[in-house]
Amino acid sequence: MALQYPTQPGDIDHLIADDHAIVERQFQHLEAGRGNRRVLVDQISFELAAHAFAEETVLYPIWPEIGMTDEHDDAEHEHQKIKEHLAVLGRTEPGEPEFEQALTRLMEVVRHHVHDEEDEELPEFRAKAGAERMADLGRQFLTAKRQAPTRPHPHAPDEGIAERIAGMLAKPLDMVRDMLSGRQQELATDASGLLDPQAQAIVDAHSSLGPLPFEILTPEQARKQPGPDDAVRKVMADRGISGPEPVGSVQDLTIPDGAGGEQALRVYTPANAGAGPLPIVLWIHGGGWVLFDIDTYDASCRGICNKAQAVVVSPGYRRAPEAVFPASHDDVLTAWTWVRENAAQLGGDPARMAIGGESVGGTMAAATSLQLAANGRPAPLAQVCVYPLTTGEQFGESMEDAADGRPLNRALLSWMAMHAFAGKPEAATDPRIALLDWTPAQRAGMPPTLVITDERDVLRSQGQQFAADLEAAGVPTTHRYYTGVMHEFFGASAVLDKAEEAQQEAAQHLLRAFGAPGVSR
């Protein structure tokens, strides 16, 4: 599912296509007979209910105004059929003839509807309404989705979410809302059946906390939602596992940011590290430049600190939309420079420094290495890119087969880019974002690199391509791919064996670069 013309991440047609891709992948799970059939249908019902509400309140009213009356009537008719099938699915159970018949018909109607919209109606709409309107309509589309069916819970923002569906929508959609109200805690999990049991327990725990979809909220609202670290802590508590992982010391400092202000820097020092200055790892947190902070990625830093026997420093860079690109990158580069110049006071060795991070933290790790090389400054001895974003494009097969992944799905990825690059669409082609567009010379300047990717991750394909590009350029490159796990798995070593393996892999990569005794190079 993809539009055949260029769009920006916040454009209404782009957002609509993301929704289509998510539902299509969930249909494929159902057709393959895998996953939790009841939960998959509930999630599809939630997605389609919100999607229908937003289209009918924002998009379709414009169509008659610009000469698309027939298209308007056809789309409204198909939406009505979709709602009727959803109502049947809500009152029946998997395996019952009525349920299975309604599901088959729903898939037929939705796929026909998607084909019409993506191949004919949305291109016509953009051409007639004008590309410059698409971003504003995209914002209205997300606002409308915040008013679509859901049920109130402790983590909900104060306004909009708990409202009843507007009276303009057909009654069958009210039935969908009522059906979902008792299943709210299932709506944020991964129901595909493709995760291993330990990973499934984490996404189930996150869903049980009742988060609303980040991708329909404002950044301020989204930051109040439970994050991946909350999910891990819940699993730990359920299993009686204490935490966090102890280290020698943790210190919070304030250092300059890239704009003459200040940013936080958390410093982790291992216990019993021995005499002499220690190697240093700058570890950069993720969150799509919008969400999360150094607290969210505390477990990763503790794990790297202990396993690599290094001082780990984590910068609290500025985030979008308050500070859009390149603010985060500037802060990370500034943090690297400050740490190098002040290594002694941290108990670190400025000649043994490495860099790494998760998600866009991995992006900024590589971007920082690029900037250092371009300026003739000493490069990190090694870098670790954990499921990095390496292009602003919707790249590779993972954009389809992991479109519905949790906690990062295709719609959330677009939401993050929409805010991170607000007012700066050219940012997506900047070398600090478009890592796959680097020249051979730029790639060849990278330090030894470990790239970690995972199965249920929209960023999988682009991370794998980045590793292949570096290897082709002669960079000592290791790529490790983990099946049965999801984006944000790396910090879950307390409850996920594959996270422990990935952290050990990262530590060995760093120890080799630092010349640690007993580690083969």
Please, what is the end-to-end C-alpha distance for the chain in angstroms? 44
pLDDT of residue 178: 53
Give the residue carrying structure tokens 């109040």. Answer: 224
Domain regions of the chain by residue span: 12-187, 249-514
The amino acid that residue 472 corresponds to is A
Coil, strand, or helix at residue 267?
strand
Give the residue carrying structure tokens 């084909």. Answer: 115
pLDDT of residue 425: 86
Annotate 81-113 with b (16+ C-beta within 10 A) or e (fewer): bbbbbbbbbbebeeeeeebeebbeebbebbeeb
pLDDT tens by residue, 332-379? 999 999 999 999 999 999 999 999 999 999 999 999 999 999 999 999
Q: Which of 45, 359, 414, 493 is catalytic?
A: 359
Whether 487 sits among the annotated catalytic residues: the reply is yes
pLDDT tens by residue, 247-281? 999 999 999 999 999 999 999 999 987 778 999 99
Question: Measured between alpha carbons, how far is 446 from 129 in angstroms, rounded to an integer?
Answer: 45
Phi, psi of 274 (to 5 degrees): 90, 180
pLDDT of residue 441: 96
pLDDT of residue 274: 72
Question: Measured between alpha carbons, how far is 451 from 301 in angstroms, rounded to an integer?
Answer: 17
pLDDT of residue 68: 97
Whether 51 sits among the annotated catalytic residues: the reply is no
Give the residue carrying structure tokens 């037929």. Answer: 108
Q: Which of 398, 457, 461, 469 is catalytic?
A: 457
Q: 170 and 80 in contact (C-beta within 8 Å)?
A: yes
Q: Which of 298, 487, 493, 509 is catalytic?
A: 487
CATH H superfamily, domain 249-514: Alpha/Beta hydrolase fold, catalytic domain (3.40.50.1820)
Whether 457 sits among the annotated catalytic residues: the reply is yes
pLDDT of residue 182: 58
pLDDT of residue 180: 55
- The ranges of the chain with pLDDT < 70 are 1, 149-184, 518-521
